[in-house]
Amino acid sequence: MTNGIKIILVIAGGLVLLCLIGAGVQTWRLNSAQNSIAKQAKDIDLIKGQLADAQEDAARWQATAKVRAVSSEAQADLAAACIKREEQAHADAADLAIILGAAKMETLTPDQARKGVDDATRQRIADMLNRPL
Of the listed ranges 46-50, 91-95, 96-100, the least confidently predicted one is: 96-100
pLDDT in tens, 32-54: 999 999 999 999 999 999 999 99
Q: Is 112 among the domain residues?
A: no
Which pLDDT belongs to residue 69?
87
How many domains does the chain divide into?
1
Report yes or no on 20 lying in a domain: yes
Average pLDDT on 125-130 reads: 81
Say if 67 falls within a structural domain.
Answer: yes
Q: What whole-number percentage of the chain has pLDDT above 70? A: 95
Residue 115 lies inside a defined structural domain of this protein: no
Q: Is residue 85 part of a domain?
A: yes
Q: Quick check: 4 pLDDT over 90?
A: no
User: Residues of the chain with pLDDT > 90: what percent?
Assistant: 52
Mean pLDDT of 84-110: 82
Average pLDDT, the chain: 87
Within-domain flag for 63? yes
* Domain extent at residue 61: 7-100
Per-position DSSP letters for the chain, written without gaps between them: --HHHHHHHHHHHHHHHHHHHHHHHHHHHHHHHHHHHHHHHHHHHHHHHHHHHHHHHHHHHHHHHHHHHHHHHHHHHHHHHHHHHHHHHHHHHHHHHHHHHHS---PPPHHHHHH-S-HHHHHHHHHHHTS--
Predicted pLDDT of residue 51: 96
